[in-house]
Amino acid sequence: MIGSATPAEAAAAEVSAPRARGPWTGRAAMLATYAVAAIVLFGAAPAMLTDFRLRMLAQFLCVAMVAVGIGLAWGSGGMLTLGQGLFFGLGAYIMAMHLQLSSAGPSGRPAFMVTGSDLPWWWELFRSPATALLGIVAVPGLLALLLGLSVFRRRVKGAYFAILSQASAAAFALLLISQQNTIGGSNGLSSFRQFFGFALNDPVNRRMLYFIAAGVLIAMVAVVHQLRRSRYGELLTAVRDGEERARFLGYDTAMVKVVAYVVAAVFAAIGGALFVPIVGIISPQNVGVVPSIGFLVGVAVGGRATLFGPVLGSLAVSYAGSTLSEQIESGWVYVQGFLFILVVAFLPGGLGSIAAVVRSRRRRPAADELPRGVPEPDAPDPEPTPADVRSGGA
Amino acid sequence: MREDYLEIRDLRVEFDGFVAVDGVNLTVLQGDLRFLIGPNGAGKTTLVDAVTGLVPATGSARLDGVQLLGKSVHRIARSGVGRTFQTASVFEQLTVLQNLDIAAGAARNWRTLLRARSGIPPTVELAMETTGLTALRDRPAGELAHGQKQWLEIGMLLVQNATVLFLDEPVAGMSGEEREQTGELLRRIRRDHVVIVVEHDMQFLRSYADSVTVLASGKVLAEGTYAQVQADPRVQEVYLGPGHTAEPAPALGEVL
């Protein structure tokens, strides 16, 4: 056996001890976290907040849904999705079209439309509640699948992928603005009266919307939780850190990445769809480049590679944003930008990584004392890019 | 029992007019621990890149008669070709166990993928024992020592269920004892694999090579046992420069 009395085994005895985990880091802690989240969202918040504040929280929850998806795609999968406004907007607009049609009655027309102009055929697709709900998931999902496959198959990644996704959000916003007569242009769609038969001016129904948003958000976190702990989650991280290597193991890495990308897109779309009845308006301003970056800031601040970091970061940033902009108008954009730079420069893993950073600082001296059979190589081993592999001994 | 073989015919790789591999013919059978040597720029790694789909090539490379050239990287890997890299390229953030589990899982379906790992697959268990990494299985691969990373790479090749194994300088940076253990491991796995090792370490080569192919300027210069290759004046000339052919043969081992 190659391993008999190797340094590997000698080192192992020492290694296993510090890695032992306390009772609070396992399953129990996870369950406790979910329980706390449920108590806060379903108990404390509705009991303590005014209707106005609760509606605001519901809006933050919708934004946090986008953040959960970004956490998966960016944190676990390394895809810097700078253009989630595209999918958020698709979900939102499909919901808005449905709400306008249902508010207008059986053969009615949306309020903003000029009399005399025909209702475009694609509005009719979302008249029925079933097709509207299907469309909210299927349209962004299929678009993300096509977009993702064509981009990942061409091995576009890193900054190029980020720019591409941001451009797609910008283009989508421009397209919406240009469609004054068919989709409301820069004014967007608003004045919805009912939500699947429930009057939107009734406070009870508004509360129900909040509870739906809270439930959906928790469900999304649970889905990402399962994905992260599954073999797929490990594979996604492997592809993030060494895509070429994963390919040499026989994985179609484009497929691996596209799954996370589609999940993130669908989450963003659902967030957008719930945003519409809760906020009461959707316009190109909510889907372009600036909101797309806004979705990302919370994820970066909270810790993109952690399970709860994206949600908590997103909620905190939304809250800070609304509080600050109540005091100083337009000042928030600068604060947001500064926050982003601060995190990227000094704590790339976000606030959620503080514990890990401290732990590794404390552990490092111990790790150095480990007996090692070979001298450490001078430089850390980088991921083998084709260029690396080609140079050297060839 | 059927013997596996890799058959490369007239392989040619060209980068912008520079011919890196120039009509190489090479056949390696299961059970033959083949070493690929040659001076820098001889085309060794490029040849491996071509067969594993990383760089486009013309000619043919067949594994048990099945053409590999023209397929994408992951399809070639699924056909049974595995490789390691000069710089150990394990997934640093993942543990030893996770690395091996991923290497073993390219054929898994989505239903399996979407569940958490419930136990350690037997092949992974075996590979951890073979490479002596069992006790380190929950350690992030990034924290392993250099030699351990190389073994993890080899372990990943083993669980990948590859028929052909390309190893690019597997003992670089290893201590004498680790080299020996790696050599023994290679000897054992060549019994049921086609193993091709790119290596600069002549000491290691002399101890463990069943056969040697010497590449120079993209062409096969010589092929045979270590002794045969060592005695070849053309090989000596490539390694030592013209005028040194008269020197005693053992100089090869020393100089390299």
Q: Let me know: does B210 contact B228? Beta carbons within 8 Å.
A: no
Predicted confidence at residue A116, as pLDDT, reads: 67
Q: Which residues of B touch A367 (CB under 8 A)?
A: 143
Phi and psi at residue B39, in whole multiples of 5°? -65, 165
According to DSSP, residue A369 is labeled T
Q: Do B101 and A381 touch (CB under 8 A)?
A: no
Q: Let me know: does A301 contact A350? Beta carbons within 8 Å.
A: yes
- CA B253 remoteness from chain centre: 21
Q: What number is the average pLDDT over the span B71-94?
A: 90
Is B181 in the A-facing interface, judged by CB distances under 8 Å?
A: yes
Predicted confidence at residue B243, as pLDDT, reads: 52
Structural tokens at position A46: 């509705």
The single residue listed with the structure tokens 């605001």 is A56
Q: What is the secondary structure of A290-332 as a DSSP string?
A: HHHHHHHHHHHHH-TTSSSHHHHHHHHHHHHHHHHHHHSTTHH
Predicted confidence at residue B92, as pLDDT, reads: 93
Structural tokens at position B17: 């007019």
pLDDT in tens, B192-250: 899 999 998 888 999 999 999 999 999 999 999 998 988 888 888 887 665 544 444 44
Using DSSP's 3-state secondary structure scheme, residue A383 falls into coil
Whole-angstrom CA distances from B233 to A73, A96, B41, B215 are 58, 81, 20, 14
Please give, rounded to a whole number of angstroms, the shortest distance from the CA of A387 to a CA of chain B: 10
Task: Report which secondary-structure segment, H or E, holds B228.
Answer: helix B226-231
Q: Let me know: does B170 contact B88? Beta carbons within 8 Å.
A: no
Q: What is the secondary structure of A145-177 as a DSSP string?
A: HHHHHHHHHTT--THHHHHHHHHHHHHHHHHHH
Which residues on adjacent β-strands are paired with residue B8? Answer: B26, B61
Those residues of chain A that have pLDDT short of 50 are: 1-24, 365-394
Is A16 in the B-facing interface, judged by CB distances under 8 Å?
A: yes
Q: Do B130 and A1 touch (CB under 8 A)?
A: yes
Which residues of A, range 221-250, sit inside 8 Å of B by Cβ? 226-227, 229-232, 234-235, 237-238, 241-242, 244-250
Is B205 in the A-facing interface, judged by CB distances under 8 Å?
A: no
Fold of B5-255: Rossmann fold (3.40.50)
Closest CA to A369 of A8, A2, A11: A11
Predicted confidence at residue A368, as pLDDT, reads: 42
pLDDT in tens, A12-60: 333 333 344 444 457 888 889 899 999 999 999 999 999 999 999 999 9
Q: What whole-number percentage of chain B has pLDDT above 90?
A: 57
Please give, rounded to a whole number of angstroms, the shortest distance from the CA of A231 to a CA of chain B: 5
Predicted confidence at residue B173, as pLDDT, reads: 82
Please give, rounded to a whole number of angstroms, the shortest distance from the CA of A255 to a CA of chain B: 11
Q: Let me know: does A267 contact A63? Beta carbons within 8 Å.
A: no
CB-closest option in B86, B98, B151 to A392: B86
Is B163 in the A-facing interface, judged by CB distances under 8 Å?
A: no
Q: Let me know: does B53 contact A352? Beta carbons within 8 Å.
A: no
b/e map B194-213, b = 16+ CB within 10 Å? bbbbbbbbbebbeebbbbbb
Please, where are the H alpha helices in chain A? 7-19, 27-38, 45-48, 51-70, 85-104, 121-124, 129-153, 159-178, 180-183, 203-229, 231-241, 243-248, 253-279, 289-302, 309-327, 331-346, 354-368, 386-390
Predicted confidence at residue B201, as pLDDT, reads: 86
pLDDT in tens, B30-60: 999 999 999 888 899 999 999 999 999 999 9
Q: Do B77 and A248 touch (CB under 8 A)?
A: yes
The residue extents of the domains of chain B are 5-255
The residue extents of the domains of chain A are 49-111+119-285
Say how far apart CA A96 and CA A275 lie, in whole Å: 10
Position B137 confidence tier, pLDDT thresholds 50, 70, 90: very high
